[in-house]
A and B are shown apart, each in its own frame.
Chain A
Amino acid sequence: SYDLIQPLSVSVALGQTARITCGGYNIGSKNVNWYQQKPGQAPVLVIHRNLNRPSGIPERFAGSNSGNTATLTVSRAQGGDEADYYCQVWDSSTGAFGGGVFGGGTKLTVL
Chain B
Amino acid sequence: EVQLVQSGAEVKKPGESLMISCQGSGYTFTSYWIAWVRQMPGKGLEWMGIIFPGDSDIRYSPSFQGQVTFSADKSINSAYLQWSSLKTSDTAMYYCARPRSGSFADAFDIWGQGTMVTVST
Contacts and interface: CB of A to CB of B under 8 A. Distances in A.
A24 interface: no
A90 interface: yes
A102 B47 contact: yes
A86 B43 CA distance: 11
A100 B35 contact: yes
Given A42-B113, A44-B111, A90-B105, A104 B44 contact: yes
Interface centre among A84, A90, A103 (most CB of B within 10 A): A90
A99 B45 contact: no
B59 interface: yes
Nearest to B103: A90
Nearest to B108: A45
Interface string B84-121: 00000000000101001000111111011110000000
A48 B111 CA distance: 15
Given A35-B45, A94-B62, A42 B35 contact: no
A98 B107 CA distance: 14
A43 B45 contact: yes
B47 A54 contact: no
Given A99-B47, A102-B45, A103-B44, A42 B111 contact: yes
A97 B111 contact: no
Contacts of A109: none
Interface of B: 35, 37, 44-47, 49-50, 59, 61-62, 95, 97, 100, 104-109, 111-114
